[in-house]
Structure 1
Amino acid sequence: MYQLPTFEITSFVSQIKLHNPCFENDFQKWIVWWYAGIYKNTKNYSAPHVEVIFRELKDDGSLGERTLSKKVLIPLLGQLFLGSIWMNNRCNEAIKLDTKSFSVNLEPDNWIVRKVADYIELPVFKSYYPINVDGNSTLISFKLLNGGELLIPCQEYFSRCYGRSQEIKRIIATYSWDPYGYNGDSNPDSVQGRIFAKLREPEENNRWKVNLGKTLYNDDIVLAAHLKYDKYTQQKVKSIHAQLEVSFRKSVEKPAFIKIFPWHLGMQNLEVEGIPFEDGKSFLALRINGASDPDGDDISRQRQNTNLARENNPEGPKGGWNTQPPKTERPIVNITDEGRPDSNSEMVRLNDRRFRVLGIPRRIKDVHIDKAKTSGQKKDLPDPKGKSSSGDPSGKNKGIGDTSLGAPQIYESEGKLMDLWNTLNCMAVDEHYGKYIEKVHWYVWNKEFGKEEPIRLSSFSPIKEKDLDNYKHLQIDPLGTEEENKLLLAERKKVLHWSYIESDEDVTKNLKGKYFRGCLILKVTVKGRPIYLLEIERKVGLVKGDNERSKEKESFSGMVFTVQSSSELKNWVHLLLTELPIFKGVIAKVMVRCPGIADKYPHRPASWETWPLEATVINAFKKIGFSIPQRKFTKKVKGNAL
Structure 2
Amino acid sequence: MTVSLKQCRTFSFPDGTLKDEAERLVVWWYGPIFKNTRSQSVPKIYVFLRPIDQWNNLGDVIKRETVLTHVGLLRIGSVWEKGVSNSRIAFDEKIFPVSFSPGGWRIISLDDLHKAGRSLHTPFHDASYLPLDRKHKSYLIEFDLPDGKHLLIPCTEFFARVYGRSSEIKRVLATYCWEEVKERLYRPLNAPPSPGTWPVRFTYRVHRHDAILLAHMLYDPYAEQAARNIYSQTEASFPQDKMLLKVTPWFQGSGGISVSGVPIDDGNAFLGLQILGCTQPDGATIHREREKSTPISATDGDDALPQFPYNQLQDIPDVIDLTDDDEPDHGSSWLDLPEDEFVVLGKPRAVLDKQYIQKSVPSKRGVPVPGDETIFSTGEPHGSGKGVGQASIHAPITLGSQGFLRDMWNALLYLQSAYPKSVHSVSWFTFEDGFSTSPDPRLISLEPFEIDDDVETSVANWVYIDTQTKVSRGVLVIRVHVLDQTLYLMELQRRPPKPRADGSEEVSKPPSYKGLVFTLNHQGRFESWLRQVLSNVRLVQGVVQKLTDHSPEFADTFKHPKSKSESVPCEASVLNAFSKVGITRDDLSGYAKVIE
Residues 532 and 560 in structure 1, CA contact (< 8 A), matched pair in contact too: no
Residue identity matched to 2:153: I
Residues 49 and 71 in structure 1, CA contact (< 8 A), matched pair in contact too: yes
Residue 7 of structure 1: CA displacement? 2.2
Question: Which sections of structure 1, spanning at least 5 residues, go unmatched?
Answer: 179-189, 475-483, 508-515, 541-553, 629-642
* Aligned pairs for 1:12-411 within 5 A: 12-20=9-17, 23-24=19-20, 26-65=21-60, 67-119=61-113, 122-124=120-122, 127=127, 129-132=129-132, 135-178=136-179, 190-248=180-238, 252-306=239-293, 322-323=308-309, 329-331=316-318, 333-368=320-355, 374=361, 377=364, 379-380=367-368, 383=371, 386-411=374-399
Determine helix, strand or coil for the equivalent of 1:333. Answer: coil
Aligned partner of 1:419 among 404, 407, 411:
407
Determine helix, strand or coil for the equivalent of 2:278. Answer: strand
Residue 381 of structure 1: CA displacement? 5.6
Determine helix, strand or coil for the equivalent of 2:127. Answer: helix
* C-alpha distance in structure 2 between counterparts of 1:372 and 1:315, whole Å: 22
Residue identity matched to 2:398: I
Residue 521 of structure 1: CA displacement? 3.3
Determine helix, strand or coil for the equivalent of 1:170. Answer: helix
* C-alpha distance in structure 2 between counterparts of 1:329 and 1:623, whole Å: 39
* C-alpha distance in structure 2 between counterparts of 1:218 and 1:562, whole Å: 32
Residues 344 and 397 in structure 1, CA contact (< 8 A), matched pair in contact too: no
Residue identity matched to 1:268: G
Residue identity matched to 1:72: T
* Aligned pairs for 1:415-494 within 5 A: 415-423=403-411, 442=426, 460=444, 468=450, 471-473=453-455
Q: Partner of 1:511 in structure 2?
A: none
Distance 1:446 1:294, change over 3 A: closer
Residue 265 of structure 1: CA displacement? 1.1
Determine helix, strand or coil for the equivalent of 1:55. Answer: strand
Determine helix, strand or coil for the equivalent of 1:259. Answer: coil
Q: Partner of 2:506 in structure 1?
A: none
Cα deviations across residues 275-334 of structure 1 (Å, max 9, x unaligned)? 12345442111101100101111111122215xx9xx79999989963575665434531
TM-score (norm 2): 0.78
* C-alpha distance in structure 1 between counterparts of 2:452 and 2:441, whole Å: 27
Cα deviations across residues 120-158 of structure 1 (Å, max 9, x unaligned)? 552137625342255121111111122221110100000
Distance 1:54 1:469, change over 3 A: closer
Q: Partner of 1:478 in structure 2?
A: none
Cα deviations across residues 181-219 of structure 1 (Å, max 9, x unaligned)? xxxxxxxxx111122210111123321111112311110
* C-alpha distance in structure 1 between counterparts of 2:167 and 2:146, whole Å: 32
Cα deviations across residues 36-93 of structure 1 (Å, max 9, x unaligned)? 101011111101111001110111112123x322211111011111111111122222
Q: Partner of 1:566 in structure 2?
A: 521
* C-alpha distance in structure 2 between counterparts of 1:122 and 1:229, whole Å: 40
Cα deviations across residues 443-480 of structure 1 (Å, max 9, x unaligned)? 66699xxx9975686863885x9x94794339xxxxxx
Residue identity matched to 1:225: A
* Aligned pairs for 1:509-520 within 5 A: 519-520=476-477
Distance 1:373 1:421, change over 3 A: farther
Residues 154 and 272 in structure 2, CA contact (< 8 A), matched pair in contact too: yes
Residues 558 and 587 in structure 1, CA contact (< 8 A), matched pair in contact too: no
Residues 533 and 558 in structure 1, CA contact (< 8 A), matched pair in contact too: no
Residue 369 of structure 1: CA displacement? 7.8
* Aligned pairs for 1:596-607 within 5 A: 598-599=556-557
Question: Which sections of structure 2, spanning at least 5 residues, go unmatched?
Answer: 497-508, 586-596
Distance 1:370 1:209, change over 3 A: farther
Paired residues, number: 551
Residues 107 and 265 in structure 1, CA contact (< 8 A), matched pair in contact too: yes
Residue 343 of structure 1: CA displacement? 0.6
* C-alpha distance in structure 2 between counterparts of 1:610 and 1:147, whole Å: 34
* C-alpha distance in structure 1 between counterparts of 2:82 and 2:306, whole Å: 42
Residues 104 and 269 in structure 1, CA contact (< 8 A), matched pair in contact too: yes
* C-alpha distance in structure 2 between counterparts of 1:441 and 1:360, whole Å: 18
TM-score (norm 1): 0.73
Residue identity matched to 1:106: F
Distance 1:192 1:575, change over 3 A: same
* C-alpha distance in structure 2 between counterparts of 1:115 and 1:237, whole Å: 21
Residues 291 and 357 in structure 1, CA contact (< 8 A), matched pair in contact too: yes
Residue 529 of structure 1: CA displacement? 11
* C-alpha distance in structure 2 between counterparts of 1:297 and 1:452, whole Å: 25
Residues 347 and 381 in structure 1, CA contact (< 8 A), matched pair in contact too: no
Residue identity matched to 1:123: H
Aligned partner of 1:534 among 466, 490, 498:
490
* C-alpha distance in structure 2 between counterparts of 1:401 and 1:118, whole Å: 43
Residues 39 and 50 in structure 1, CA contact (< 8 A), matched pair in contact too: yes
Residue 388 of structure 1: CA displacement? 1.0
Residue identity matched to 1:285: G
Distance 1:158 1:446, change over 3 A: closer
Residue 242 of structure 1: CA displacement? 0.4
Q: Partner of 1:612 in structure 2?
A: 569
Residues 309 and 333 in structure 2, CA contact (< 8 A), matched pair in contact too: no
Determine helix, strand or coil for the equivalent of 2:11. Answer: coil
Cα deviations across residues 554-577 of structure 1 (Å, max 9, x unaligned)? 96754334557534x875774444
Query: Over the residues paired in the alignment, what is the CA RMSD in angstroms?
Result: 4.6
Residue identity matched to 1:153: P
* C-alpha distance in structure 1 between counterparts of 2:555 and 2:374, whole Å: 57
* C-alpha distance in structure 2 between counterparts of 1:243 and 1:42, whole Å: 18
The percent identity for this pair of structures is: 27
* C-alpha distance in structure 2 between counterparts of 1:443 and 1:341, whole Å: 53
Determine helix, strand or coil for the equivalent of 1:334. Answer: coil
* C-alpha distance in structure 2 between counterparts of 1:279 and 1:129, whole Å: 13
Q: Partner of 2:547 in structure 1?
A: 593
Distance 1:157 1:428, change over 3 A: same
Cα deviations across residues 460-502 of structure 1 (Å, max 9, x unaligned)? 3885x9x94794339xxxxxxxxx9xx99xx79x97x98xx9x
* C-alpha distance in structure 1 between counterparts of 2:210 and 2:129, whole Å: 33
* C-alpha distance in structure 2 between counterparts of 1:579 and 1:565, whole Å: 14
Residue identity matched to 1:210: V
Q: Partner of 2:594 in structure 1?
A: none
Determine helix, strand or coil for the equivalent of 1:264. Answer: coil
